[in-house]
């Protein structure tokens, strides 16, 4: 278990320091800003969706390693997925990082399971899902900044 935890930490650090899909997306047809006031994380999601499929996702922003790693892993995992598949993964991911549902992470979320340990740290629980809430809002073309403190 110690080796697995170390691998998870290394993956989070790697994605936090060297995020994948970081930057603007010129052809994006959905954009959304997100903010975590507890940690100061700021993120902007840019995505190109066509016929119900998210063909490209990129993000910009700054924040803690967990927030940046989550956004990086999310963009890798969700590129090419349908909006319906993304909604299902959002629900599973949110449940896993807020309720410590390790089985849901490992069985259905693959490499996103590296973020499962976040549930053990209440101060970090809102860092991992920020990108996901921001993406979900982008898909419905929500107006305004998404905050981890929103009740929606």
pLDDT in tens, 51-89: 999 999 999 999 999 999 999 999 999 999 999 999 999
pTM: 0.88
Average pLDDT on 28-49 reads: 95
Q: pLDDT (tens digit, 9 = 90+) per residue, 116-151? A: 777 677 777 889 999 999 999 999 989 889 987 765
**Nearest CA among 73, 41, 79, 37 for reference residue 57:** 79
Domain range list for the chain: 2-147
Q: What's the 3-state SS for 74-101?
A: HHHHHCCCEHHHHHHHHHHHHHHHHHCC
Task: Name the band, by pLDDT with cuts 50, 70 and 90, for residue 152.
Answer: very low
Question: For position 3, what pLDDT does the model report?
Answer: 67
Task: Specify the fold of 2-147.
Answer: Sufe protein. Chain: A (3.90.1010)
Closest to 135 (Cα-Cα) out of 56, 65, 20, 62: 56
């Amino acid at each position: 278990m110690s080796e697995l935890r170390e691998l998870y930490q290394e993956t989070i650090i790697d994605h936090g320091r060297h995020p994948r899909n970081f930057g603007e997306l010129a052809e994006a047809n959905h954009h959304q800003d997100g903010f975590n006031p507890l940690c100061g994380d700021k993120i902007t999601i840019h995505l190109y969706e066509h016929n119900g499929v998210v063909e490209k996702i990129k993000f910009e922003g700054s924040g803690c390693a967990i927030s940046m790693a989550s956004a990086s892993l999310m963009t890798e995992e969700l590129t090419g997925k349908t909006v319906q598949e993304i909604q299902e993964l959002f629900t599973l991911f949110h449940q896993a990082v807020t309720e410590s549902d390790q089985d849901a992470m490992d069985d259905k979320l693959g490499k996103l399971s590296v973020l499962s340990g976040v549930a053990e740290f209440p101060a970090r629980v809102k860092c991992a899902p920020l990108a996901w809430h921001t993406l979900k809002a982008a898909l419905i073309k929500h107006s305004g900044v998404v905050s981890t403190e929103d009740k929606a």
